[in-house]
Amino acid sequence: MSWCASRRRKGSYSLRVNYAEGAREACNFGCIGKLLMAYLDEEESKRLVLDGHVKRFTSRTVLDFDTLKKEWARIRLRGWIYSNGEALDGVKAVAAPVRDYSGGVCAGLGVTFPAILLPKSRVPPVVKAMVKAANALSLQLGFKDRRASNSKIGKRYGG
């Protein structure tokens, strides 16, 4: 579907994180991968982990199913994800789910930063912007539930 096409914007800084459009990665790669796994049926997520469809990218990558299960629950509760070096060393990211007309999560909307450009103090406003944008996109896809806008942003984003 055309609305699922990847859209990228380059930042104004010379230090950048680049992903090739259409590149295939393990299902746990980056914020979006982990976010989408959080909203899968638990048995499907478990199968992906146990069948080796997850991969270690850095020393911070989580592969243990029980730990992942707890992290996925936290993602669903908050309505967003924050990552600090789980996919790429020195990279932080924030993402929020995009829902379709049925209420199911069909995509994620995220932003990545070189770690030096996203100190803890900037995480809450970035989370707020990602959740707001993902909710707006969800509404365009026919999602009607207003509870999605009540994500818990606060200071519970890790370190």
- Read off the pLDDT of residues 61-93 as tens digits, 9 standing for 90 and up: 999 999 999 999 999 999 999 999 999 999 999
**How many Å apart are CA 140 and CA 144, to the nearest integer?**
10
Query: Is pLDDT above 70 for 150?
Result: no
Counting Cα atoms < 13 Å in the Cβ hemisphere of 68 gives: 28
Range in 24-28, 40-44, 149-153, 154-158 the model is least confident about: 154-158
* CA-derived radius of gyration, the chain: 15
Condensed to tens digits (0 to 9), the pLDDT of residues 30-67 reads: 899 999 999 999 999 999 999 989 999 999 999 999 99
Mean pLDDT in the chain?
Answer: 84
Q: Express each pLDDT in 126-137 by its tens digit.
A: 999 999 999 999
Q: pLDDT value at position 82?
A: 95
Name beta bridge partners: 114. Answer: 91
Place of tokens 């979006």: 32
pLDDT value, residue 155: 42
**107 vs 96: CA distance, rounded Å:** 9
Percent of all residues in the chain with a pLDDT value above 90, rounded to a whole number: 63
Written as six digits, the tokens of 53 are 């469809």
